[in-house]
Structure 1
Amino acid sequence: MLLRLRVSLPDRPGVLGQVARAFGVMGADILQVTVLERQAGRAVDDFTVSWSGVFEPAELRDRIGVVPGTRVEGVWPTREVPGASLDYDLLGHVAGDPDRAYVTLVDAVADLVSAEWAVAVDSAGGAIVHGSWQAPESVPAAELTPLRATAFDEGGLHLVSVPMDGVHLVVARSQGPAFHRAEVDKIVRLAGIVSVLAGGVSRTV
């Protein structure tokens, strides 16, 4: 299985190597490392690993956490295959069929940030106008009014809401940590590019 681990660690030479060795000892193959932030002598990295499943993911968290100064902030399943360039695929599909730009975005965006589902919610009425395959029939609407992207927690879910063209794009995950600001920025940028590619086309959702 593919797992994503978010690890906070000291930003100094040798520590990343210690973490990599700890993964190797547990039989986890590191497929990708994404640096989310570096500040105040610490870094926050997302590791995508191939995991045999012999042990529970919680044990992987515990073993990595023994490296001095490290803190595992979350372990959760991911469908984001390293090297697959899903963001480019998304934008290519949107450019090829701008009439379905927002449907395409909703269907694809969750996998791009290791989330579980996404929906487009009508900004005026709060009704879901399109949802990805794992989306629920309703979403919390209280936080969908701001004119800027918002990350919040509601009912055990980590959510990001991005207003765009009469709808709010809402992305959610129940496993793993809250959305990092780098993930929120990625969603915002993708939504902005999709809006540009869609041009003046009527929203089809």
Structure 2
Amino acid sequence: MLLRLRVSLPDRPGVLGQVARAFGVMGADILQVTVLERQAGRAVDDFTVSWSGVFEPDELRERIGVVPGTRVEAVWPTREAPGTSPDYDLLGHVAGEPDRAVVTLVDAVPDLVSADWAVAVDSGNGKVVHGSWQAPEEVPVSELTPLRPATVTEGSLHLACVPMDDTHLVVARSQGPAFHRAELDKIARLVGIVAVLARSGVSRTV
């Protein structure tokens, strides 16, 4: 299985190597490391690992956490396979079918940020325009249309909300941590590019 681990660790030489060795001892193969932030002498990294499932994910969390100064903030399953460039695939599909831009974006974005589901919400009436196949029939939140990209937490449900023309993209994660600002920025950039491609593509066909 593929797992994502968010790890806070001291930002000094050698610590990342210790964490990598701890993964290796547990039989976890590191496929990708994404640096989310570096400040005040600490770093927050997302590790994508291939995991045999011999141990429970919580045991993986405990074993990695024994590295001095290291804290595993979250462990959750992911479908984001490193090296496959799904974001480029998304943009290619939008460029090819700009009239389906919102549907394509909603269906693709959960896998791009290790989330569970996504919906597009009408900015005027708050109704769901389209939802990915994992999305619930009723979206369990009251306010989904902020004026700028934002994160919201409703109980154990973490949301990233990004405006896009007349709709808002809402991405949800029920397993794992709240969306980091680096993840929110990634979603916002994708939304911006998709919006440009959709507008330019539709205008050429009119």
**What TM bracket, shorter-length normalisation?**
over 0.9
| Distance in 2 (alpha carbons) for counterparts of 1:153 and 1:14 | 35
Aligned residues: 202
- Residues 81-131 of structure 1, C-alpha deviations (whole Å, 9 max, x = no match): 000000000001101110101110000001100001000011111111100
| Distance in 1 (alpha carbons) for counterparts of 2:97 and 2:67 | 48
Partner residue, 1:143? 143
Amino acid at match of 2:112: L
Contact 2:106–2:169 (Cα < 8 Å) also in 1: yes
Q: How does 1:116-135 map to 2 (within 5 A)?
A: 116-135=116-135
- What 5-or-longer segments of structure 1 have no aligned partner? none
Partner residue, 1:82? 82
Partner residue, 2:17? 17
Contact 2:121–2:170 (Cα < 8 Å) also in 1: yes
| Distance in 1 (alpha carbons) for counterparts of 2:77 and 2:190 | 22
Contact 2:145–2:161 (Cα < 8 Å) also in 1: no
How far 1:143 sits from its partner (Å)? 2.8
Q: How does 1:15-54 map to 2 (within 5 A)?
A: 15-54=15-54
Partner residue, 2:197? 197
| Distance in 1 (alpha carbons) for counterparts of 2:145 and 2:92 | 30
How far 1:181 sits from its partner (Å)? 0.2
- TM-score normalised by L of structure 1: 0.96
- What 5-or-longer segments of structure 2 have no aligned partner? none
User: What SS class does the counterpart of residue 172 from structure 2 fall into?
Assistant: strand
How far 1:141 sits from its partner (Å)? 4.5
Amino acid at match of 1:176: G
User: What SS class does the counterpart of residue 199 from structure 1 fall into?
Assistant: helix
Runs of 4+ that moved beyond 3 A: none
Contact 2:141–2:154 (Cα < 8 Å) also in 1: no
Contact 1:23–1:29 (Cα < 8 Å) also in 2: yes
Contact 1:128–1:137 (Cα < 8 Å) also in 2: no
- TM-score normalised by L of structure 2: 0.95
| Distance in 2 (alpha carbons) for counterparts of 1:141 and 1:16 | 38
How far 1:166 sits from its partner (Å)? 1.1
Mean Cα displacement is larger for which, 153-162 or 61-70?
A: 153-162
| Distance in 1 (alpha carbons) for counterparts of 2:141 and 2:196 | 26
Amino acid at match of 1:164: M
User: What SS class does the counterpart of residue 183 from structure 1 fall into?
Assistant: helix
Partner residue, 1:60? 60
CA RMSD across the alignment: 1.2
User: What SS class does the counterpart of residue 162 from structure 2 fall into?
Assistant: strand
Partner residue, 1:169? 169
